[in-house]
Structure 1
Amino acid sequence: MDHQIHNVMREDKQLLVITHLSQLLDFVTGIGGFIVPLIIWLTQKDQVAGMDIHGKMILNFQISLFIYSIVSIPLIFLFGLGIFLLIAIGLLALILPIINAIKVSNGELPDYPLSIKFLK
């Protein structure tokens, strides 16, 4: 008898949407917007169709935002440019997860511009 287990990916658009929206936890906890999507991605990437791609996009975006934030801190002393960059980073961190959650719920692919591709 063949007892081979077939790993079938399940469709779970709702979990994909939640994963994108979980980034907003940064505004409440400071780091939850990285930790929660990371945990969801690590635990669900082999079970949920599309989770591997979405998780990598989210983590690349989160890591990129962190790097941009670190770079902008010294720029505060250069004519206050860093303050404008931090505001822009904050707006991107707020708006893009919401836009992409809506895209995913509509069956469209998310897009995180300015993301550095650390995870491919």
Structure 2
Amino acid sequence: MTDPNAPTPDPNVPPQQPVPPQPAASAGPLPQDQDIQWASFAHLGGILGFLPSLIIWLVFKDRGQFTNVEAKEALNFQITMLIGYVIGAVLSIILIGGLISLAVWVISIVFSIIAFLRVKDGQHYRYPFALRLIK
């Protein structure tokens, strides 16, 4: 059923074309204060494990040079700590694994906080030991 009162389309006017969607604007580079902020969060996130460092590195590696360097450093350290946890879990069969896991936990927290405090001031931090798996 059509509405008899509806206006008839003019055959001389082309029908309206839908507007094509605009591509999403890529995010620009981070301002220096945000670059330092995200870099320091990558180190502090190490208290929770390797995922915060990984997520920050993947999201911000192309937007901030300082964040790229520091998040990789934090991620490499957290992967090293993860290997320590695995070794501790395997050696828990002979009871020394619990001590290894405790030591890895304490080292991870202490060095993550030290790195956070240094990086939040805009200084680079390099962990005293970490496997450099991500270059």
Q: What range describes the TM-score normalised by the shorter chain of this pair? A: 0.7 to 0.9
Q: Is the 8 A contact 1:76 1:82 kept in 2?
A: yes
- Give the equivalent residue in structure 2 for 1:77: 93
TM-score by length of 1: 0.76
Q: Distance between the aligned counterparts of 1:8 and 1:71, measured in 2? A: 40
Q: Is the 8 A contact 2:44 2:112 kept in 1?
A: yes
- Give the equivalent residue in structure 2 for 1:118: 133
- Give the equivalent residue in structure 2 for 1:13: 36
Q: Distance between the aligned counterparts of 1:40 and 1:75, measured in 2? A: 32
Q: Deviations over 1:71-92 (max 9, x none)?
A: 12232333x3222211110001
Distance 1:9 1:15, change over 3 A: closer
Please report how far the alpha carbon of residue 62 of structure 1 lies from its aligned counterpart in structure 2 after TM superposition: 1.3
Q: Secondary structure at the match of 2:50?
A: helix
Between 1 and 2, higher relative CO (CA 8 Å, sep ≥ 6) is seen in 1
> Which of 83, 89, 99 in structure 1 is aligned with 2:114?
99
Q: Distance between the aligned counterparts of 1:53 and 1:36, measured in 2? A: 15
Please report how far the alpha carbon of residue 116 of structure 1 lies from its aligned counterpart in structure 2 after TM superposition: 0.8
Tell me how large the CA RMSD over aligned residues is.
Answer: 1.9
Q: Distance between the aligned counterparts of 2:31 and 2:58, measured in 1? A: 16
Q: Is the 8 A contact 1:10 1:49 kept in 2?
A: no
Q: Deviations over 1:17-76 (max 9, x none)?
A: 12211222x2xxxxxx32222121111111113122111111111111111111122323
TM-score by length of 2: 0.69
One-letter identity of the residue aligned with 2:107: L
Unpaired stretches in structure 2, ≥5 consecutive residues: 1-27
* Number of equivalences: 106
- Give the equivalent residue in structure 1 for 2:76: 60
Unpaired stretches in structure 1, ≥5 consecutive residues: 1-6, 27-32
Q: Is the 8 A contact 1:23 1:34 kept in 2?
A: yes
Please report how far the alpha carbon of residue 8 of structure 1 lies from its aligned counterpart in structure 2 after TM superposition: 5.4
- The structure with more radius of gyration: 2
- Give the equivalent residue in structure 2 for 1:23: 46
